[in-house]
Amino acid sequence: MNALGITGGVIQAVVITGGAPLLTGVMRQVRAKLEGRKGPGVGQPWRDLRKQFRKEAVAPEGTSEIFRVAPLALVATTVVTAVVVPFVTSASAVEPMADLFAVVALLAMGTATLALAAIDTGTAFGGMGASREVTILALVEPTLLVSIFALSVPAGSTNLAAIVAATLNDPGRVLSPASMLAAIALTVVTVAETGRIPVDNPATHLELTMVHEAMILEYAGPDLALIELASSMRLCVFLGLLASLFAPWGIAASPTPLALAIGTAAFAAKVVAGGAVLAAAEVFMAKIRLFRVPELLAGSFLLAVAAVASSYFLAGAS
Amino acid sequence: MTNTAYVELLNLACGALLATAVLILWRRQFAAIIRWFGVQGLALASLAAILAVHGHDARLGAIAAGVFALRAVALPWLLRRALARAEAAAVQPQRETRPLVNVTASLLAAAVLTLLAYAVSQPLTALTPASPAAHAIPLGMAVVLIGFFSLVTRRRALAQVTSFLLMDNGITAVGLLTVASTSLLVELGVSLDVLLAVLVLQVLTGRLRETFGSTDLDELRELRD
């Protein structure tokens, strides 16, 4: 634990919590522009959140504490991830927590809690959404672990801060086949885990296709706002993870104000650019059938396995 | 070219070979399969070019040019033409509709095959532990195995031709990586053989479609007049 890591952690928590709805706004705006619409503006998600937070909290009859705790748990796990993963600085606020397995487990815990809350409502949609989400989660987690593992083999540590620092010292590593294959696998994982097209459509409320929306159908008011906020933050965290692992340029290596400012600006720019590319790509894609999702995720798992294998075997050459 | 740049470019080309092999196995649409096959030909040609520049070998340079002309231009063009004809006939959708092993299972099988490729090519890698090219042999071997797997599980003729070519790409890659100096004549002979095989298979596919109205090879189980 050092000064650099702690300042970085505080900045990351503030930037991600405040900026995540703006990222969602930018992505919707990009999509709207490409579809020839005017779009509601970048600030719309924040306006929606403000409206929701002012409402009275209501919960369906017969729901237990899990339903009320789940939004808080989801936000809490995401905030912890946002603090510990090295986004703005190359050091982590809580070094042991920045471990690959801890971060993946934290992210999975948030999703699992939400799935439990969805089952808790006892409605058909909640159960259906939870079942689908857990299916996708079970397929995503191995890929996520294995693809980051491919990057940790050359760095010699599963600590994300150590992986980022190793890539900063040796920028050529980004172009290795292991890193390239892992990048493709992680992009698919990001799309699947954050419920974007082609795995899930965040804009739909059609019963047959909903995944994430089906789980949160019973939420209203402040609880819904918390979940919406946490969803955008997760998207931000995943895009940030991609940026830190495969394009760690501009990350602050010293706790001077200038370096931190550059690090924050670089992080924001990379995440917004990633989000804009994702949104632009979505315009040209259709949601795939739910039964074909395992195929997509098996493909990304294969790429992740190939990444680990090549990072292990080609390591002997250089 | 410095040594680190050589190693990185070599690894990158081999990684691209494997990635395109996975994408060929993944996609169902013939148009997409042929596109990725063309990209793979490009990766193979750059692999030969990198080896040629590193070894200052003019013959390898000629082979790189030949590989590019054949595998990145000529073969994808032939396949596209076959696809266009089949689309004109419009007997059935131009994609692999029901492979023997579904795509999810075949992708997982390919993951196992990749690991198997690393296991079986250990003795080859151990022969010259200092050479970076030898360390990339498992990647080429994985492409061979994935191609073979795809060849035995696909039903449609065009998909089988592409799988055969995928396997051949893998064999060429392993050949380039293992052999210190290839004979231009041998390489030329092999390449022309492949071209001939594709031409013959293309004619055969055309006849198959004319006779049965389909290129599903499972239809060929019974003898008819």
pLDDT digits (tens, 9 = 90+) for A37-64: 999 999 999 999 999 999 999 988 888 9
Q: How far is A306 from chain B (nearest CA, A)?
A: 7
Q: Minimal CA–CA distance to A56: which of A220, A229, A226, A227?
A: A220
- State chain A's maximal CA–CA distance in angstroms: 63
Give the pLDDT of residue A70. 94
Give the pLDDT of residue A16. 94
Chains A, B: CB contacts under 8 A, how many? 92
Q: Are B18 and B143 in contact (CB under 8 A)?
A: yes
Rounded average pLDDT over A238-264:
90
Cα separation, A51 vs A44, in Å, equals 11
Which residue matches tokens 């050359």? A154
Confidence of residue B12 (pLDDT cuts 50, 70, 90): confident
Give the pLDDT of residue A44. 94
pTM here is 0.86
Give the pLDDT of residue A50. 95
A contact test, residue of B1, B11, B20 with most A CBs within 10 A: B11
For chain A, the C-alpha Rg in angstroms (whole number) is: 19
Coil, helix or strand at residue A148: helix
B212–chain A Cβ distance below 8 A for any pair? no
Q: Are B159 and B30 in contact (CB under 8 A)?
A: yes
B contact test, residue of A176, A285, A313 with most B CBs within 10 A: A313
Q: Which residue of A has its CA nearest to B131?
A: A317
Confidence of residue A204 (pLDDT cuts 50, 70, 90): confident
Q: Are A46 and A201 in contact (CB under 8 A)?
A: no
What is the torsional sign of CA B194, B195, B198, B203?
A: negative
Confidence of residue B147 (pLDDT cuts 50, 70, 90): very high
Residue B34 CB partners (closer than 8 Å, separation 6+): B76, B79, B80, B83, B162
Q: What is the pLDDT of residues A162-176, one digit of tens each?
A: 888 888 888 877 878
Q: Which residue of B has its CA nearest to A295?
A: B104
Q: Minimal CA–CA distance to B156: which of B103, B205, B88?
A: B205
Q: Residues of A at the B interface (Cβ-Cβ below 8 Å)?
A: 172, 175-178, 180-181, 184, 294-295, 298-299, 301-303, 305-306, 309-310, 313-314, 316-318
Choose among B19, B125, B129: nearest Cβ to A180.
Answer: B19
> Cα–Cα–Cα angle for B107, B113, B118, nearest 5°?
135
Confidence of residue A318 (pLDDT cuts 50, 70, 90): very low
Q: Contacts of residue A180 in chain B, CB cutoff 8 Å?
A: 12, 15-16, 19
pLDDT tops 70 at residue B219:
no
Q: Name the β-bridge partners of B216.
A: B156
Cα separation, A255 vs A5, in Å, equals 8
- What is the number of other CB atoms lying within 10 angstroms of the CB of residue A66? 15
Cα separation, A193 vs A144, in Å, equals 10
CB contact under 8 A, A302 and B22: yes
Q: What is the pLDDT of residues A205-216, one digit of tens each?
A: 777 778 888 888
Copy the structure tokens of residue A235.
């998207």
Give the pLDDT of residue A19. 94
Cα separation, A304 vs B131, in Å, equals 25
Residue B36 CB partners (closer than 8 Å, separation 6+): B20, B23, B24, B27
Q: How far is B115 from chain A (nearest CA, A)?
A: 7
Q: Which residue of A has its CA nearest to B16?
A: A177
Q: What is the pLDDT of residues A72-118, one digit of tens each?
A: 999 999 999 999 999 998 888 888 888 888 999 999 999 999 999 99
Q: Which residue of A has its CA nearest to B143?
A: A306
pLDDT tops 90 at residue A227:
yes
Q: What are phi and psi of A99, to 5 degrees?
A: -70, 145
Choose among A181, A302, A318: nearest Cβ to B107.
Answer: A302
Q: Contacts of residue A303 in chain B, CB cutoff 8 Å?
A: 19, 22
pLDDT tops 80 at residue B97:
no
CB contact under 8 A, A175 and B138: no
CB contact under 8 A, A313 and B103: no
Q: Which residue of B has its CA nearest to A178?
A: B15
Cα separation, A121 vs A127, in Å, equals 8
> Cα–Cα–Cα angle for B70, B74, B78, nearest 5°?
135
Rounded average pLDDT over A170-188:
85
pLDDT tops 90 at residue A29:
yes
Give the pLDDT of residue B87. 79
Most trustworthy range by pLDDT among A17-21, A164-168, A217-221 = A17-21
Cα separation, B150 vs B142, in Å, equals 12
Copy the structure tokens of residue B165.
């070519």
Q: How far is B51 from chain A (nearest CA, A)?
A: 15
Of the ranges B91-100, B116-125, B157-166, which one carries the lowest mean pLDDT score?
B91-100
Alpha helices in A194-292 (DSSP H): 212-215, 221-246, 257-283
Copy the structure tokens of residue A5.
């890591």
Higher pLDDT, B36 or A252: B36
Rounded average pLDDT over A261-265:
92
Higher pLDDT, B198 or A113: A113
Of the ranges A15-24, A81-90, B1-10, which one carries the lowest mean pLDDT score?
B1-10
Q: Which residue of B has its CA nearest to A307?
A: B15
B contact test, residue of A139, A246, A308, A314 with most B CBs within 10 A: A314
Cα separation, A41 vs A25, in Å, equals 7
Residue A268 CB partners (closer than 8 Å, separation 6+): A15, A19
Mean pLDDT over the full length of chain B: 84
Q: How far is B11 from chain A (nearest CA, A)?
A: 6
B contact test, residue of A175, A180, A181, A303 with most B CBs within 10 A: A303
Cα separation, A161 vs A12, in Å, equals 14
Rounded average pLDDT over B205-223:
69
Give the pLDDT of residue A1. 55
Choose among B8, B102, B110: nearest Cβ to A176.
Answer: B8
Give the pLDDT of residue A235. 94
Q: What is the pLDDT of residues A189-202, one digit of tens each?
A: 999 888 888 888 87
Residue A192: HSE in the Cβ half-sphere, 13 Å Cα cutoff:
32
Q: Minimal CA–CA distance to A215: which of A317, A80, A117?
A: A117
Q: Contacts of residue B26 in chain A, CB cutoff 8 Å?
A: 295, 299
pLDDT tops 70 at residue B24:
yes
SS (H, E, C) A54-107: HCCCCCCCCCCHHHHHHHHHHHHHHHHHHHHCCCCECCCCCHHHHEHHHHHHHH
CB contact under 8 A, B110 and A181: no
Give the pLDDT of residue B91. 60
Assess whether the previous peptide bond of A198 is cis (omega < 30° from 0): yes
Confidence of residue A317 (pLDDT cuts 50, 70, 90): very low
pLDDT tops 60 at residue B33:
yes
CB contact under 8 A, A314 and B107: no
Cα separation, A70 vs B114, in Å, equals 41
Rounded average pLDDT over A248-259:
86
Give the pLDDT of residue A111. 92
Which residue matches tokens 């191609």? B147
Give the pLDDT of residue A28. 93
Q: Which residue of B has its CA nearest to A185?
A: B19
Q: How far is A17 from chain B (nearest CA, A)?
A: 36
Cα separation, A130 vs A117, in Å, equals 9
Prediction ipTM score? 0.78
Rounded average pLDDT over A8-24:
93
Confidence of residue B83 (pLDDT cuts 50, 70, 90): confident
Rounded average pLDDT over A292-318:
81
Higher pLDDT, B20 or A312: B20
pLDDT tops 80 at residue B205:
no
Q: Are A298 and A139 in contact (CB under 8 A)?
A: yes
